[in-house]
Amino acid sequence: MTATSWAITDDVERWVVVVTFVLFFGSVLLLVQELRTRGQRSWLIFASGILAALCVSLAAVRPVIVDSQATLVGPRVTVLVDQSRRMRLPAGDQTRIARADEAVRAIASHFENARLTVLGFSEGPMEPLPTGASSTHGSRSDLSAAIRELAGTPGERPRAVIVVSDGRVSRPLADLEDAALREAVGALGVPVHTVRVTDVTPNDASIRGVRAAGVAVAHQPLAVTVEVGCAGELACGRLPVHIRELRDGVAPAELASGIAEIHDGVGTVELEITLDRAGGRVLEISVAAPNGDAIPENDTRYMTFEVARERIRLLHLAGRPTYDVRALRSWLKSDESVDVVAFFILRDSFGDEPGAPSFELALIHFPVDELFTEHLRSFDAVILQDIDAVRYKLTKYLARLAAYVELGGGLIMVGGPSSFAGGNYAGTPLDSILPVEQPDDDKPSDPKSFVPRYTEAGHAAEVTRPIRDLLGDALPEMAGTNFLGQPRPGSIVLWEHPELTAGGQPMPVLALGEAGDGRTIALSVDATHRLAFSPMAAGVAGRAYGALWDGLLGWLMRDPRYEAARVEVVGECIEGEPDTLLRLTRLPGMRGSLNLSLVPLTPETKEPIIRELAGDTVEPVEIRVPGLQAGGYTAKVRIGEAPPSRHDFACERGGTAWADTRPDVPRLEAISRVTGGLAVNLDGVGQLPLPAATRVSAQREVAPVAPPWVWTLASAVLLGVHWVARRNSGLL
């Protein structure tokens, strides 16, 4: 196909053209005005003036003749297929993504003369899709971002866009005004046709959304609003909603429950929960769906709540006042972030004789029952310092204390004559959660002075770094120790005895352990106060004591500063998707091989998923874990000999994408309407209009209409004629 046209030469700027034509039309107006005011009707003057001005103008803009040869090709059409995992939901007896594949095939058939590009959109950049092989991923389907990306791509723009979806896209939002919707999806300026993959709303009750009023803070009530949806033909009236916390090795704890009253297919219930432990906590939010629920997978959501800690609340129990008690209390009280509730036994009712009636004494009853039944949950950690379990009636609460630790509490047992076996803790429920065994020995302690020494793990652990930074490997002499047994499996010994042994190995002096969701510390000596007050302590102004206890308490409370590694889930963990990606980052200075142990947060003991990586690479490591089921998980990472770091996370079925299963046909129709497109279902693909063919130029020849000197000469001659005509008419 050949076509001829004219144009202004390419080397003239647009503003020159504008100025030229303004001057031309200005001169015409002036000429007309002059002739009218002088009462002259000389066509010669008028014509010669106009033509002279025109020739001058053409000499300036230099018009050219363009001869072009072109071919017509099929229009470019882009098909955007919704790839979010919502498209795995059912559409009749198929999935929505399978219907989308059908739609793409029908479009390809209908637009066989078009140049069709099929792209998938959900989260992040779009990706090309081979016809009929669509997969799903991502919680969101952002159509606005997809169209913006298309508009920003260099090259030929499509003549039309066809969106294949169920309409429940994340963006553009539902119920937008036409202008806002046009702005959201009209960046290309072409019609956006939509093909809905289903019109059928499934019979489904689901947790549509969970919102918390603010940040979760340990021990503080948090209002959680749960939105429950009920769609299709399902009969919903009052649906029970439960929130439970998943914990390691024990049954989930029910935090709150309520009833959602369903009106017009939706109901909300506000529940107040209190999370006692800081860090990542996994909650299970479930609705009891009525019979006939077609999609039970979205009746339960698993969500990770990051719980902050405002202050650490400690219970400090001491069997007698000593300089060791004094040092610990002084340090705890000096820390503004620690809230201490202390009970020290100042008078032993079995033998002490104060010689005064009770009202002359400043002594109060030790509220052991109240502490261990009513208030225990409110503490982040308990410190037992040289307090006899039998003498002070703790025995019957030790099972409760052990359960408290397994549910995420912290426990430190500090040495003394009435600690460990000397305090009648051997063989009790508390014994089993301590990081060390307690030997069967009539003699609970050794009076011989010694200087503890660091183990290999003690050198590697972040928890001891602050004190090692101050004192190196030096430690003060300790006046005796409780006898401790071997460390329990998984426990870490930081200090050991230079002479005493347990099970053929040096006896632990300071050991860390994990028990269920909680952590425990065993310290067999009662003289760490010498890190605060002694000639050695004076060398570092007494700061070594705070350095030790800051590390111990920090580790107990999972302070990231004292963890060997950081663990995070990259993206989401969704049941049924190929892999969950865990990123492990070592803290600076942490050396040794990396061991990942992943276990589900269930009451039953499950075989952990283990991954081991040799080497000391500083860069973050990503580990793929396939086939995780929905629920809560705890990932424990150990670097070399250092104590393990832990991260709890949730794995969902469908997650946010499956929260609302209703197709949104009106939204697809609105998108088409505001962009001049057509909204159809699968059967209506044949109605979609084919855009006009695109003309592609193959050859283009440009030649001036006349050389500039011709225009200039013509204008000079015409001006001469114009001058003569004026003189003859007396207009000069």
Backbone angles phi, psi at 37, to 5 degrees: -70, -30
- Rounded CA-CA distance 386/415 in Å is 6
Candidates 345, 461, 557, 651; binder of another protein (CB under 8 A) is 345
Q: Please identify, using beta-carbon distances, which residue of 74 and 542 lies nearer to another protein.
A: 542
In eight-state DSSP terms, residue 303 is E
Contact 501, 485 (CB under 8 A): no
Q: Residue 364 Cβ, how far from another protein at the closest point, in Å?
A: 5
Cβ proximity to another protein: between 545 and 658 the closer is 545
Interface stretch with another protein, choices 3-11, 147-155, 225-233, 334-342 (CB under 8 A): 334-342
Diameter over CA atoms, the chain:
144
**What is the per-residue binding string for another protein in 67-106, x denoting contact by CB under 8 A?**
----------------------------------------
The residues in 383-442 that bind another protein, with binding defined as CB under 8 A, are: 386, 416-417
Residue 394 sits at the vertex; the CA angle it makes with 388 and 400, to the nearest 5 degrees, is 135
How far is the C-alpha of 654 from the C-alpha of 347, rounded, in Å?
61
- Specify the residue, 259 or 368, whose C-beta has the smaller distance to another protein: 368
Residue 532 binding another protein, by CB under 8 A: yes
Q: How far is the CB of 553 from another protein (least distance, A)?
A: 19
Stretch that binds another protein, among 18-26, 36-44, 327-335, 550-558 (CB under 8 A): 327-335
Tell the smallest beta-carbon distance from residue 397 to another protein (Å).
Answer: 18
Residues 267-326 that bind another protein (CB under 8 A): 319-326
Report the residue number, 231 or 544, with the smaller CB distance to another protein: 544
346 near another protein (CB under 8 A): yes
State how far the Cα of 398 lies from the Cα of 421, in Å rounded to an integer.
14
Pick from 480, 346, 495, 497: nearest CA to 417: 480
Q: How far is the CB of 596 from another protein (least distance, A)?
A: 41
DSSP per-residue string spanning 366-416 = --HHHIIIIIGGG-SEEEEES--TTTTT-GGGHHHHHHHHHTT-EEEEE-S
Task: Return the number of the residue (483 or 649) whose C-beta is nearest another protein.
Answer: 483
Q: How far is CA 394 from CA 366, 386, 519, in A?
A: 11, 13, 20
At residue 658, φ and ψ (nearest 5 deg) are -100, 5
> Which is closer to another protein, CB of 481 or CB of 634?
481
Q: Find the distance separating the first CA and the last CA of the chain, reported in whole Å.
A: 55
**Min dist. Cβ of residue 523 to another protein (A):** 14
Stretch (H or E) spanning 556: helix 543-556
User: Looking at beta carbons only, is 7 or 390 nearer to another protein?
Assistant: 390
Closest separation in Å from C-beta 544 to another protein? 12
Between 83 and 445, name the residue whose CB sits nearer to another protein. Answer: 445
If one asks whether residue 374 binds another protein (CB under 8 A), the answer comes out as no
The DSSP call for residue 423 is G
Query: Is residue 154 near another protein by the rule CB under 8 A?
Result: no
**Taking the complex as a whole, how short is the minimal distance between the CB of residue 455 and another protein, in angstroms?**
22
Phi and psi of 583, rounded to 5°?
Answer: -105, 125
User: What CA dihedral angle connects 700, 701, 707 and 710, to 10 degrees?
Assistant: -100
* 220 CB-contact burial (10 Å; exposed 0-12 / middle 13-18 / buried 19+): middle
| Contacts (CB under 8 A) with another protein, residues 465-504 | 477-482
Q: Which listed residue (189, 447, 626, 730) binds another protein by CB under 8 A? A: 447
Q: In terms of CB distance, is 420 or 562 closer to another protein?
A: 420
Q: Does 336 help bind another protein (rule: CB under 8 A)? A: no
Give the sign of the dihedral formed by CA 256, CA 257, CA 263, CA 264.
Answer: positive
Q: Does 241 bind another protein (CB under 8 A)?
A: no
What distances in angstroms separate CA 316 from CA 330, 342, 521, 641, one per listed residue? 12, 5, 14, 30
The reply on whether position 534 binds another protein by CB under 8 A is: yes
Rule CB under 8 A: which residues touch another protein?
319-326, 329-330, 333, 340-348, 352-356, 359-364, 386, 416-417, 445-447, 449, 477-482, 526-527, 529-530, 532-535, 537-538, 541-542
